[in-house]
C-alpha cells in the first residue's frame, strides 16, 4: 500500500481501539492540515463519548500510537488535533510502488462484475449533448473501475425500438428505398446518404407525420406490422439501425471513447423476453391492471396528491414501452451477464423512471444477494447564456461538429505556440488536446450539477483544464528528454532522496493517486480525480520553481529530481488515461 494517509489511518485506528476499547466507531478522522501532512482529529469525538477533555484523549492516543517508523513524533495542537508529518525516507521508499503498473493504486478488495449502461443514443436521431455527457462520464467510470480490478461490461442501451419507427420507415420508403431489396449494399449506401443528417431526417418524418394524415395512418400501420414481425418492415428497420450504429461507432472512434460495436445492446434486444418478464412479474403479484394498462406500483413512489405512481409495464394497447425494456435489460444483466453492480449513466430527468425500475426489480428478487443498481445521474449542458446548450440557430448541437470545432480550435492553439511537430503529429496532438478539453470540462465539475459549455475556458492553458495538464505533462517529458542519458537511466524511484519541502510535498501528492482513483470509482466522481491531477500539477510547478532538476552539480540530486519528474509525468498520464484523455509527450 503506497498511500501514507491510509497507513496512518490504520495506525490511528489501532490506537483508538486501545484508548477506547468499548466502541466500534474507529473513524480516525484523518484530514489534511496546513501545519503538517495530516491531522488525526479523532480525539474530539472520542472525548465527547468518554466525557474527558479532548487534549487528554489526544495525549493518550499519541501514547498509544505506534507510528515512529512512518512519521516524525506527533504533536498535539489546538483543542486536540494530532499533527503528523511523514518521514522523508518513508516517502521515498513508498514512491517505488509508483513504478508498478498500478501506480500505487490498490486493486479493489471487493471485485464486481459491473455493468455500465452509458451513451445510449437513439436510432435515426443525432446524439445530443446529454448523450455526450453520458458517453464521457460513463467511459471515465468504465475505465477507472476496470483499472482497480472490476470486471466491467459496457452496455449501450441504444434506443432502437418504438413507435417513431413507423414514420421513419415510411419516410425511408417515400425517399425511394424499396422494401423488397432493402438489404443490398447499394441500398445501405442510399440509406446512409438519406439519413446523413439524422436530425433533418427525423424532423422531416415528424413534419410529414403531423401534416399528412395519410402518412400518419401508414406510419401507425407500419408500427403494427413491425411489431408483428413483418419481414419488409423488419428489413427497413434493420437498415435504419445499422446505418445509425455505423454513425455512432464512428463518433465513438472520433471521440476516442472505448465503446465498440460489441457493446450495443439496444432496446430491441429484449423484445423476445418481454412476455416472459411480464409473466414473471405477474406471477410474483407485482402487476395490476390500471385503465387497461399493466402497471407496477412500487412502494414509496407518489406523484402529485400523494397518488401512488405507476410504472407502466404494458400499455393498454398491448404494446411494451421503455419501462418493460429496462426491466428486461436489468434482469438480463443480472442473470445472463452476471452483474453484481449496475450503473446507469443517464441524465437527471430519468431519475424517477430508473428508481422505479430498480424498485420493481428489487421486489421481483432480481437484486437479491446485495446486487446494487445505481443511477449515476448528471445535470444539463448549458450555453454561456445559461440556457440549454444549442447552436446559434437554436438547434441541438451536432456531435460531429462539436468534435471538429474542438480539434480545429486546439490546432489553432498549437499554431499559436508553434512547435516543431510534423503535420501528422500536430494533427494527432490537436485531436488529443481538443477532445481532452471537451471531456475534461465535462468531467471536472461535479456531475450532478449543470455545466456551462465554454470553449475559451475549456481550452485555457492555465487553470483546471485538460490542456493545462497536457502541457504540464509534455514539459516534464521534455525535461526528461533533455537530461543526460546516464541521469535518465538512473532516475528511478530508488534514486529519490527527499530533502527540500517542495520535494516532500510532491512525493505526498504523488502518493495520493490511490485515494483519488478510489474516490473517483467509489463515489462515481471523476471530478475528484480531475481535482487531484490539477493539484498534482500545481504541486509539481512549485517543486520545479524551488528545485532545479537538470542544473545541480551533484548527480544524485539531479537523478532524484528527475525521478520525481518522471513519476509525476507517469501519474498524470495514467490519471488522464483513466478519464479517457491522452497525454502526448510533445505538444
Ligand atoms: N435512449 C435513452 C435516451 O436517449 C437513454 C437510455 C438510458 N439507459 C437506460 N437503460 N434507460 O434518453
DSSP-assigned states of every residue in 214-232: HHHHHHHHHHHHHHTT-HH
Residues 6+ apart with CB under 8 A from 295: 287, 288, 289, 310, 311, 312, 313
Q: What pLDDT is attached to residue 545?
A: 97
Same domain for 224 and 316? no
Atom of ligand 1 minimally distant from the CA of 346: 7
Other beta carbons within 10 Å of 107 = 10
**Who lines ligand 1 at CB under 6 A?**
117, 120, 122, 157, 159, 326, 329, 344, 346
- Mean pLDDT, the chain, rounded, equals 94
Q: What pLDDT is attached to residue 184?
A: 61
149 and 107 Cβ atoms separated by less than 8 Å = yes
Q: What pLDDT is attached to residue 185?
A: 61
Same domain for 280 and 212? no
Q: Which of 159, 245, 356 to mutate to test the pocket of ligand 1 (most atoms within 8 A of CB)?
A: 159
> What CATH number is given to the structural domain containing 14?
3.30.1360.70
Contacts 24+ apart (CB under 8 A), 402-405: 402/129, 402/132, 402/438, 403/251, 403/254, 403/255, 403/434, 403/435, 403/438, 405/455
CA-to-CA distance for 543 and 539, rounded, in angstroms?
A: 6
C-alpha of residue 555 to centroid of ligand 1, in Å: 58
Q: What are phi and psi of 314, to 5 degrees?
A: -135, 130
Is residue 394 included in any domain, yes or no?
Answer: no
Same domain for 206 and 236? yes
* Look-up of cell digits 520525481: 564
Boundary (domain end) residue, out of 356, 376, 396: 376
Strands 381-382 and 287-290: unpaired
pTM over 0.85: yes
Boundary (domain end) residue, out of 329, 360, 376: 376
Q: What band does 23 get if pLDDT is binned at 50, 70 and 90?
A: confident
Question: If residue 378 lies in a helix (H) or strand (E), which one and from where to where?
Answer: strand 372-378
Residues 6+ apart with CB under 8 A from 202: 124, 125, 126, 164, 168
Strands 311-314 and 293-296: antiparallel
C-alpha of residue 15 to centroid of ligand 1, in Å: 49
Same domain for 479 and 524? yes
Same domain for 232 and 332? no
Q: Which three cell numbers stand for residue 470?
A: 497536457
Query: What residue's CA is closest to ligand 1, atom 9?
Result: 157
DSSP-assigned states of every residue in 140-181: HHHHHHHHTT-EEEEEB--B--STHHHHHHHHHHHTT--GGG
Residues 6+ apart with CB under 8 A from 585: 473, 474, 477
C-alpha of residue 130 to centroid of ligand 1, in Å: 10
Average pLDDT on 557-565 reads 98
Atom of ligand 1 minimally distant from the CA of 347: 12
Same domain for 287 and 328? yes
Is residue 106 included in any domain, yes or no?
Answer: no
Is residue 491 included in any domain, yes or no?
Answer: yes
Query: What residue's CA is closest to ligand 1, atom 5?
Result: 120
Is residue 17 included in any domain, yes or no?
Answer: yes
CA-to-CA distance for 47 and 56, rounded, in angstroms?
A: 8
> What CATH number is given to the structural domain containing 313?
3.40.50
Is residue 10 included in any domain, yes or no?
Answer: yes
Average pLDDT on 50-60 reads 95
Q: Which three cell numbers stand for residue 91?
A: 516517502
Is residue 540 included in any domain, yes or no?
Answer: yes
CA-to-CA distance for 39 and 286, rounded, in angstroms?
A: 52
Residue 341 has pLDDT above 90, yes or no: yes
DSSP-assigned states of every residue in 379-419: --EE-TTSSBP--TTSPPPPHHHHHHHHHHHHHHHHHHH--
Residues 6+ apart with CB under 8 A from 408: 430, 434
498 and 86 Cβ atoms separated by less than 8 Å = no
Residue among 63, 44, 62 at smallest CA distance from 54: 44
Q: Which of 153, 157, 396 to mutate to test the pocket of ligand 1 (most atoms within 8 A of CB)?
A: 157
Query: What residue's CA is closest to ligand 1, atom 8?
Result: 157
Same domain for 222 and 313? no
Is residue 154 included in any domain, yes or no?
Answer: no
Same domain for 308 and 367? yes
Atom of ligand 1 minimally distant from the CA of 158: 1
Strands 38-40 and 293-296: unpaired
> What CATH number is given to the structural domain containing 520?
1.10.730.10
260 and 249 Cβ atoms separated by less than 8 Å = yes
Same domain for 304 and 347? yes
User: Partners of 558 in the beta sheet?
Assistant: none
Residue-wise pLDDT tens digits, 176-229: 887 777 766 667 777 777 777 777 888 899 999 999 999 999 999 999 999 899
C-alpha of residue 346 to centroid of ligand 1, in Å: 7
Q: Which three cell numbers stand for residue 314?
A: 404494458
Same domain for 493 and 554? yes
Residue-wise pLDDT tens digits, 66-125: 999 999 999 999 999 999 999 999 999 999 999 999 999 999 999 999 999 999 999 988
Residue 415 has pLDDT above 80, yes or no: no
Q: Per mean pLDDT, which range of 173-187, 193-207, 269-283, 291-305 is the poorest?
A: 173-187
Q: For residue 464, count CB atoms less than 10 angstroms from its CB and return exposed for 0-12, middle for 13-18, buried for 19 or more.
A: buried
C-alpha of residue 159 to centroid of ligand 1, in Å: 7
Boundary (domain end) residue, out of 257, 291, 322: 257
Atom of ligand 1 minimally distant from the CA of 326: 10
Structural domain boundaries, residue 278: 268-376
C-alpha of residue 157 to centroid of ligand 1, in Å: 6
Atom of ligand 1 minimally distant from the CA of 322: 11
C-alpha of residue 354 to centroid of ligand 1, in Å: 10
Q: What band does 305 get if pLDDT is binned at 50, 70 and 90?
A: confident
Residue-wise pLDDT tens digits, 494-547: 999 999 999 999 999 999 999 999 999 999 999 999 999 999 999 999 999 999
Residue 33 has pLDDT above 90, yes or no: no
Say which residue, 389 or 323, is predicted with more confidence: 323
Q: Per mean pLDDT, which range of 14-23, 106-115, 259-268, 557-566 is the poorest?
A: 14-23
Query: What residue's CA is closest to ligand 1, atom 6?
Result: 120
Q: What pLDDT is attached to residue 183?
A: 67
Rg (CA), the chain: 28
Q: How far, rounded to the nearest angstrom, does the alpha carbon of residue 176 sit from its chain's CA centroid? A: 42
Q: What band does 241 get if pLDDT is binned at 50, 70 and 90?
A: very high
Q: How many domains does the chain contain in total?
A: 4
Is residue 135 included in any domain, yes or no?
Answer: no
CA-to-CA distance for 65 and 59, rounded, in angstroms?
A: 10
Amino acid at each position: 500500500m503506497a498511500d501514507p494517509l491510509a497507513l496512518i489511518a490504520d495506525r490511528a485506528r489501532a490506537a483508538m481501539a486501545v484508548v477506547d476499547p468499548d466502541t466500534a466507531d474507529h473513524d480516525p478522522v484523518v484530514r489534511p492540515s496546513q501545519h503538517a501532512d495530516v491531522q488525526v482529529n479523532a480525539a474530539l469525538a472520542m472525548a465527547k463519548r468518554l466525557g474527558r477533555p479532548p487534549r487528554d484523549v489526544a495525549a493518550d492516543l499519541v501514547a498509544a500510537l505506534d507510528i515512529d517508523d512512518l512519521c516524525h513524533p506527533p504533536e498535539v495542537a489546538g483543542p486536540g488535533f494530532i499533527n503528523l508529518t511523514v518521514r522523508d525516507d518513508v516517502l521515498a521508499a513508498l514512491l517505488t510502488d509508483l513504478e508498478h503498473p498500478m501506480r500505487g493504486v490498490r486493486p479493489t478488495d471487493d471485485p464486481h462484475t459491473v455493468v455500465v449502461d452509458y451513451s445510449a443514443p437513439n436510432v435515426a436521431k443525432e446524439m445530443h449533448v446529454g448523450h455526450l455527457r453520458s458517453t464521457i462520464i460513463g467511459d471515465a467510470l468504465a475505465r477507472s473501475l476496470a483499472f482497480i480490478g472490476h470486471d466491467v461490461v459496457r452496455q449501450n442501451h441504444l434506443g432502437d425500438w418504438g413507435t417513431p419507427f413507423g414514420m421513419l420507415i415510411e419516410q425511408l420508403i417515400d425517399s425511394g428505398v424499396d422494401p423488397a431489396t432493402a438489404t443490398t449494399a447499394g441500398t445501405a449506401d442510399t440509406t446512409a446518404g438519406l439519413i446523413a443528417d439524422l436530425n433533418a431526417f427525423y424532423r422531416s418524418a415528424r413534419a410529414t407525420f403531423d401534416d399528412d394524415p395519410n402518412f400518419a395512418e401508414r406510419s401507425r400501420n407500419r408500427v403494427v406490422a413491425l411489431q408483428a414481425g413483418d419481414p419488409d418492415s423488419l428489413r427497413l428497420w434493420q437498415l435504419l439501425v445499422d446505418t445509425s450504429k455505423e454513425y455512432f461507432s464512428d463518433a465513438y472512434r472520433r471521440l476516442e471513447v472505448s465503446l465498440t460495436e460489441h457493446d450495443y445492446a439496444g432496446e430491441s434486444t429484449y423484445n423476445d423476453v418481454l412476455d416472459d418478464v411480464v409473466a414473471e412479474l405477474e406471477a410474483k403479484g407485482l402487476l395490476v391492471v390500471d385503465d387497461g394498462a399493466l402497471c407496477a406500483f412500487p412502494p414509496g413512489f407518489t406523484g402529485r396528491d400523494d397518488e401512488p405512481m405507476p410504472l407502466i409495464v404494458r400499455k393498454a394497447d398491448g404494446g411494451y414501452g421503455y419501462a418493460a425494456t429496462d426491466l428486461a435489460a436489468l434482469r438480463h444483466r443480472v442473470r445472463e451477464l452476471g452483474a453484481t453492480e449496475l450503473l446507469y449513466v443517464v441524465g437527471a430527468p430519468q431519475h424517477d423512471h430508473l428508481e422505479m425500475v430498480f424498485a420493481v426489480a428489487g421486489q421481483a428478487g432480481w437484486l437479491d444477494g446485495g446486487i446494487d443498481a445505481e443511477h449515476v445521474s448528471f445535470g444539463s449542458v448549458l450555453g454561456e447564456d445559461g440556457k440549454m446548450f444549442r447552436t446559434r440557430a437554436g438547434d441541438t448541437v451536432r456531435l460531429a461538429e462539436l468534435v471538429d470545432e474542438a480539434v480545429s480550435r486546439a490546432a489553432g492553439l498549437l499554431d499559436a505556440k508553434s512547435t516543431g511537430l510534423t503535420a501528422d503529429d500536430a494533427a494527432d496532438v490537436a485531436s488529443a488536446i481538443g477532445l481532452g478539453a471537451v471531456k475534461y470540462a465535462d468531467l471536472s465539475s461535479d456531475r450532478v450539477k449543470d455545466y456551462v459549455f465554454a470553449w475559451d475556458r475549456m481550452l485555457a492553458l492555465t487553470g483546471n483544464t485538460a490542456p493545462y495538464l497536457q502541457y504540464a505533462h509534455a514539459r516534464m517529458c521534455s525535461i526528461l528528454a533533455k537530461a543526460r542519458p546516464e541521469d535518465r537511466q538512473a532516475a528511478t524511484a530508488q534514486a529519490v532522496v527527499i530533502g527540500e519541502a517542495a520535494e516532500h510535498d510532491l512525493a505526498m501528492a504523488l502518493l495520493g493517486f490511490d485515494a483519488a482513483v478510489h474516490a473517483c470509482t467509489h463515489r462515481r466522481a471523476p471530478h475528484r480525480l480531475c481535482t487531484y491531477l490539477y493539484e498534482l500539477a500545481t504541486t509539481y510547478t512549485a517543486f520545479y520553481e524551488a528545485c532545479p532538476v537538470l542544473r545541480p552539480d551533484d548527480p544524485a540530486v539531479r537523478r532524484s529530481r528527475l525521478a520525481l519528474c518522471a513519476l509525476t509525468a507517469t501519474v498524470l498520464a495514467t490519471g488522464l488515461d483513466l478519464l479517457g484523455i491522452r497525454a502526448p509527450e510533445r505538444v
